[in-house]
Structure formats: structure tokens, C-alpha cells
Copies of this chain bind each other. A is one copy, B any other.
Amino acid sequence: MSQMVTLGAPRAAASPMPGTRDVGRLLVQCDDRPGVVAAVSTFLAEHGANIIELGQYSTDPEGGRFFQRTVFHLDGLSAQQERLEAEFADVAARFGLDWSLTRADEPKRVGIMVSRYDHCLLDLLWRVGRGELAMNPVLVVSNHADLADEVRAFGVPFIHIPVTKDTKAEAEARQLEVLRGNVDLVVMARYMQILSNTFLESVGCPVINIHHSFLPAFMGANPYVQAKSRGVKLIGATAHYATADLDEGPIIEQDVTRVSHAQTSAELQRRGADVERSVLARAVTWHCEDRVFRHGNATVVL
């Protein structure tokens, strides 16, 4: 019972989740070659760290791309992080590693964009409140005012930036003003506007979108209407990184639920909402735990 968190309390100042102190994540990728796992784990062992989780994957042991996520515990990590990074740079240079070191007690700062559907947004905020999603929801941006009260009840700022066809460029400029530098991730939680290429290039952090179909089926608008007319027996949702090609970015997570001829497209939409919120929650959780590596137009989730 002690795990209960009262919803309504401010989240922005949330203290770190239990079990995250002194826990680091070392993320590396490189062209695959022998000895990388040994080099990384020896480096950590020599610095007194204990590995508590290690995931790795190679697209091809010969000439492929190698990805590794190593979670470790090291007493006094925050004080030592800078020195650790400086010393790991040598290992990285030797193996040609792209790498980063993150701390589990520093949750990602997340900006959420939403229109009028509340189910994905509320599910994320509720999971944060329960202490099961380690992210810091610093602000919500919406092109509609409808959800202001509900968002603010979670102690999260709500910023209303209307968008019309004529004002889209200005609206995106204002969105960038409030997001850029303030967030490590943008989540489109059923934000019903297409973000321009300029926005995606300028925002300076990854953008995750939830699409209400099992991509690549039913790309574009009104997927539930499309699904109904095609008579499918399963409907789904897809969380992916937003890219310039709409609905074509790297897929992080997908799921489906069973339907039949007896559901109208409005009912498909309601049932789909349950899938959307759980798929988006898993994708955001994995991203915030540094599990997702982009590889071409696909992802590796470790």
C-alpha cells in the first residue's frame, strides 16, 4: 500500500524513483568486431561497477552493426560520472564506439503534444503518478483548450497554442519556443496535426508518435474507417519515431486487439483507444529507460 501515490500532487519536482540511485546505463554501438563486450565489461569492473543488466545485439556478426546497453551499479556514481566518461572515451576511441552514459536517477524531461482525445495523455500522466513510468512531464502543449483543467490537476503546465491552416508556421514557432531546450523527448499523444520537417529538425530531441493502426496497414487518415471497410479481424496501434515521411518512421512498439463484423467503426475507435494508450506507454517507457536504438528505419529494443 505504501506504493500509492496521490494523483494531483505536482510531478515536476518528483524525487527519483526508488532503486535508481547510483545506477548508470552505458549505451554503445559500433561496427561489429570481437572484444567489445569484454572491453566494456572490463572497464566497468575495473572501476568497481557491478553489472545488473546487459543487453546486446548484432545485425550480423560479420560486417554488421553492434548495439549494447549495460546497466550497472556504482557507489557514488553522480560524483564520478565526469571522470568515468573521460576515461571511457579511450575505450570508445579504440573500438570506434558511438556511446553515451546516462543515470537512472535523472528522468527524461518530456513535452507532450495533444489535441482533444485524452486517453493517451491521461494514461501517461497517471503512470507517472503511480511511480511506474520514470519520466518528468514538464509541459503539455495543445492546439485546443479542452484538457487544461485535467492536465493542471496533475501539477503539469498546460500551454494552449491554437493552430489554423494559416497560422501553422507561427504556431510551430511558438511550440518550438516552449519545447526547445526544455525537453529531452516530445510525445505526440494523439496530436492531430502533422508536424513540419522544419519542426522535427529544429526541436532538438526525438519525437514519438502514436498511430492508430497496425502500420504499415491503413496509413493516413481515418484508419478505423478503413479497417471497418476492409473487414479486418484485428485492429492495432503503432508507436514510432516521427520522421519527415508521415507514418513511416522507425517502429518502437505495436499491438492489436480482436474485433469482429459486429463492431461499428465508432466501436473500433473505442476499442482501439485501449490499445493506443498501452502501446504508447510501453514505447515511452522503453525510450525513457534508454532501451531503444534506431537502426536505419527500424529499431533495436534491448
Consensus secondary structure, chain A interface = mixed
**B41–A3 touching, CB < 8 Å:** no
Most B CB atoms within 10 A — which of A7, A44, A73? A7
**B132–A126 touching, CB < 8 Å:** no
**B34–A48 touching, CB < 8 Å:** yes
Task: Report B-chain residues with C-beta under 8 Å of the C-beta of A250.
Answer: 231
Q: Determine how many copies of this chain the complex contains.
A: 4
**A41–B50 touching, CB < 8 Å:** no
How long is the Cα–Cα vector from A283 to B6 in the complex, in angstroms? 27
Task: Report B-chain residues with C-beta under 8 Å of the C-beta of A32.
Answer: 50
Of B7, B38, B122, B269, which one neighbours A118 at CB under 8 angstroms? B7
Nearest residue (CB) in B for A64 is: B52
* Cβ-based interface call for A56 (8 A): yes
Given known contacts A4-B118, A37-B54, A51-B56, is B298 in contact with A261 (CB within 8 Å)? yes
A residues near B (Cβ < 8 Å) are: 1, 3-4, 6-8, 32-35, 37-39, 41-42, 44-46, 48-54, 56-58, 61, 73, 115-119, 122, 126, 130, 132, 146, 149-150, 153, 214-218, 229-234, 236, 250-251, 253-256, 260-262, 266, 269-270, 273-274, 278, 295, 297-301
